[in-house]
Structures are given as structure tokens and as C-alpha cells.
Amino acid sequence: MTRALFIVDVQNDFTEGGALGVDGGDAVAVGVSRFLVAHRDDYALVIASRDWHDGDNDNGGHFADGQPDFVDSWPVHCVAGTEGAEYDPGLDTSAVTHHVKKGQGVPAYSLFEGVTDDGETVADLLTAHGVTDVDVTGIATDYCVRASALDAIAHGRHVRVLTDLVAGVAPDSSDAALAELAHSGAELQESTS
């Protein structure tokens, strides 16, 4: 068994005080950092994603022109090169093996929609390193964590969502996302178990 850890979008705009900040985002950053201190050697790859949107267009309708619907259109967030797009300061990225940017000019939710600065896809990285199992952490449970975990399952990987290392936009939609992931074959467990 070869395992990878996904750290999904633990960015300033998604943690408390950000453009789309979620409750518990800062705690996820600190929790993932603490988890990696104890478990770095469990992973062949540690892949961190960031929304990395263009600042001069609507990113394929992802940025609302007017009032966002918070389903398909959103307030401006995670614009490339801004403080909002940077990792939350509580996240220690020293153990990250690959940084992935997604949503460069288009809507993107799954980490699989991103690429490294060298143009590598996550699917190619997992295959090249023989990864069979993926643990998923990050923000937001009901959007990008959900999409990333579902894509990992679709790519034939066994997925665990570390439920104490994710934070969602809303409780009901986060619970629904976790139920959908469990129904799709993901294991839901705390990082300490």
C-alpha cells in the first residue's frame, strides 16, 4: 500500500477572515500541520492544492457578476499572487511534496483539476508513485474536499476523509457531502484513530 495525503485549499481566503472564510479553517491548518509532524513518513506524496484564479476576468463565470449564488458563482477569492490565495499561516508546508494550482481562468473544485508549476497532473503523480490510498484533508468539506475525494475514488484509489481535519461552509451541506462520500466508498475517520 502506497499512500498520499491531500491538503485541499487551506488558504487565507477560505479560513476565518477571508473572502469565503469558513468556521474552523484556521484549526484545520494547525491540525494538518500537527498531523504531518507525527505522520509524514506514512505518505509517499503530500499534495497541497490552492485555488489560483485570474484577477482580470470572471474565471468562466466562477466570479459573480453581481450577486453570487454560492453554488456556481462566488465573490472574488484566491486571486493569483494575492494574500488571499496564499496558504493559511497555520499550515506548515515544509512536508508538501507537490503544490497544485487549480482554477486558473476556469471554475475548479477538485484538486485533480489542478497542475503543478511543471504541468504535472495529480492523476499522473499518483500513478507514477504507485499510490493506492489517499487521505483527504482541507477546505471546504462540502465543495472542494468533496470533489477531490470523489475524483480520487473515480481514479480507483481507496479514500479516507480525516473528518477532524476538514471544515465546511455549512453544517447541513457538509454532513450531506460526508454521507455521499461514505456511500461512494470513502472511509470517514478521525486522524487520531
CA distance 53 to 96: 21
Set of cell numbers at residue 150 = 470523489
End-to-end CA distance of the chain: 18
9 is known as an active-site residue: yes
CA distance 169 to 50: 17
101 is known as an active-site residue: no
Contact present, 136 and 8 (Cβ < 8 Å):
yes
Contact present, 90 and 98 (Cβ < 8 Å):
no
Active-site residue, from 26, 102, 133, 142: 102
Active-site residue, from 51, 78, 133, 144: 144
CA dihedral for 67, 76, 56, 144, sign (positive or negative): negative
Angle at 168 between CA 61 and CA 136, to 5 degrees: 95
Active-site residue, from 9, 26, 135, 142: 9
In DSSP notation, 24-49 reads THHHHHHHHHHHHHHHGGG-SEEEEE
SS3 128: helix
- Name residue 161's beta-bridge partners: 136, 188
Catalytically active residues, by annotation: 9, 102, 144
